[in-house]
Structure 1
Amino acid sequence: MRVVAQLSFLQIVLFQILLIPRYPVQKEAQFFLPVKENQEPGSFNMTNEKSKVCDFSSGSLSVFGRDNPVSSREDKFGTKLDVDKKEEPTGSWISNNDSNDNEVKHCVHFTKGLEVLTFICPKRNGNNYKGIEVRPFNCFEEVRVQHVNIKRFSNILKGVYYESKETDILTIRKVFIPPTIYEDTIFECTCDNSLTFQNGMMGSSGGNPTREEAGPTSGAIGSRGIMRVHLKKNFIFGCDFDHTGSSDGGHSIIDNRRKEGESIGEDEFSQEKKSAFSKFYTPSEINNLKEKGIIHNVKITKREVYLGLICPPGYYIYPSNCFENVLYENNIVKLKELVSHDIKFHIDNKRRMSFATFTLKKNENPRGFTCLCVSMNTTLHNQQQPLQVNFEYNNYESFAFSVHMGYLLIVLLFMILCF
């Protein structure tokens, strides 16, 4: 008490300054709104991307080639298919026997999004693949979820985009996995050759032949190849201004499922409110706020950074290739000028969404930046307010470091005053 009584007013103020945490303040800069120019919609517009591949076409599922190694070659999209079992893009390969003693081979991948996956299955030809099938038939449009239910992928993951390619001997499916994963999920696609037999026979019931049907010389049965993908829960620093659950900017996932005749439970209604984004707005909220515009500040508080921006219908992203280009001090600059790390981008102007990811160093806080959603009705004579997102860094490790330093200074100051 004696020491406290002797403290001067200046010393008390100094203590208060040290005890109050200081947060960076983002200026709410106003930008001249650009007039929309003609923009071509994008699809697989990604940079620094290495495709992860499950290739079952090398003979590993064949009646006579169960032990064949998985090969490495170029796919028909021009992507290098490094599908040797020891290479990273193929995931983990596991062989096991199911209850019917048919060999099953799993190609397993783990992802938090911002990756392209490729699934390759041989088509029916010759005796080795006479009964082969892709299941679900329209994988990746539909996938098997949690080993049981078949669901439309766009009803599970917002922003998913897939392509199909057919050759004379191959079925090739490619899918972009966005980082919009709000809960852990497992999905599968299967290249099923278990209905192909050494003598080309099929059972009378349409399945595996009995011993009597197959005969004593038969016994070799094709294998099943399962691509199993573990989607890992993610967190996106950014704004979803179109939180309808829609992957294409149209009706919500729940509305789409109603149209398909599915019954919707209360728990699934609550799921539509979930999001991987740090902030999201529903269409009704956008409609109520669009006259004033929206300015939202996003604090990036982790070393592993996933950025995201989704604009509502009737708006477009500005700069058009945000996050590759961003607004900094009223100028358009490259994000790489502000962040000196490898950055992976995905830009889809058709769906009005953009993503980026990179990893910061410990205690690193680069300069902040801005991206906008601009109304298509904006003209030189009709300047409508944009939806503005300011990104600023508050790396949690840096904050913890500064707090610890603050307490250290307080202790040192007490020691000086007491002695």
Structure 2
Amino acid sequence: MRVLIVGCLGSRLEQAANIVISRGSQVDHVGTVSQAIDRACSEGNHHLVICEVECGIRSLVNGLASQRVHIPVLACGPASAALATGAISDGADDYLPLPPDTDLVASFLQDVAYESHKLISIDPGMSQLLCLVQKVAVSDASVLVCGESGTGKEILSRYIHKKSKRFKGPFVAFNCAALPETLIESELFGHEKGAFSGAATRRIGRFEAANGGTLLLDEISEMDVRMQAKLLRAIQEREIDRLGGNASIPLDVRIIATSNRDLKSEIKNGRFREDLYFRLNVVSLTVPPLRSRRLDIVPLAQHFSKKYCELNGLPSRIISDKANEILTNGIWKGNIRELENAVHRAVLLSRGDVINVEDFNAAGVSSSVNSERSIINTNPWVGNSVDDVEQALILDTLTYTDGNRTHAASILGISIRALRNKLRNYADKGANVPRPSLGLVTQQ
């Protein structure tokens, strides 16, 4: 991960930079917002911007948006609820009090990455898939990774990159469903200064940022058909044209695409180009759902337990045999992502050295297990609408995190942008949305 730090590298901001570096991320530093915008446009591969509030959060957010650069912005400054609220109102995704708390910084980085790139599996079916991956990885062939949402398609894609001869090059991921159609072209191909109103500087796109490495096109089936034609040309010709540019730029990029849809059905219904499908589908891999690889459930749960104990500064906790049995027999419609969120919540709710069935019950796992193995017989939310239950869960989680949007989004398993949109809707309807508060943040 690459992080851009904006501000004066005094002792407190420098502490934050050192924590980011200690977590394995690369750090770049600039002093002003205008320099930050120029740097983000010229390099195109930053994953997070950490900016002091004194530099001007609104100017940074608006400046990045005007250049069609989409990077999460983490504001930082003195421990002040008023400053935190103001920064988030100005467009920051969250607020980091200074001096920085190590675990809180780790939580922000975790939310941005939403990844633990370690591929964990003992299931025989997955072992066969990984054997095939080993053979595929060494080539430069395009790979199409299919599977349900939450099965770990991106992690498998990163695994392919790490096992390839391009492992020293960049791995750049682009979520095709995250941006509106009008912004995707600039995000992928970049743009020249003056390419559109407000384009004040040249912008390097994801293709150029991935040069010499791998570009992951996540959920490719969400891309508009018209944009698919431009993508096809870039893959076929191995070159791109920046928006507003006059010269083609040659590239050396390996393409990995993922999809949770049946692309053949999408082609039949006119929503996906057949020629692009054949170009991407040189090698096809299908990641099985978690319910088809039950031997992996306990090792994954143990991994997530250790991970979130460390992340939240808690002593290590094991999962009881009975709880493991419940997890193993779960339905897990959300696959590994749902399991990870369930274990994360159980870690936070447990109070001893062992995570018991009751902790998973309180974490809401009962809705995911077979009825004959249900932890409880009734659910207090029965009789309420799904929207009401979701709103209550989100607001309660935000209260639990003391208003920390990033931490709440991580626990809930949704993006910070999705959380902010929901909170805005709740506030418009008159709901009492907790403001960012620094009362539970441990200062060092």
TM-score category, normalised to shorter length:
under 0.3
Q: Which has the higher contact order (CA 8 A, sep 6+)?
A: 1
Which of structures 1 and 2 has the bigger CA Rg? 1
TM-score, normalised by the number of residues in structure 2:
0.23
TM-score, normalised by the number of residues in structure 1:
0.24
Higher strand share: 1
Higher helix share: 2
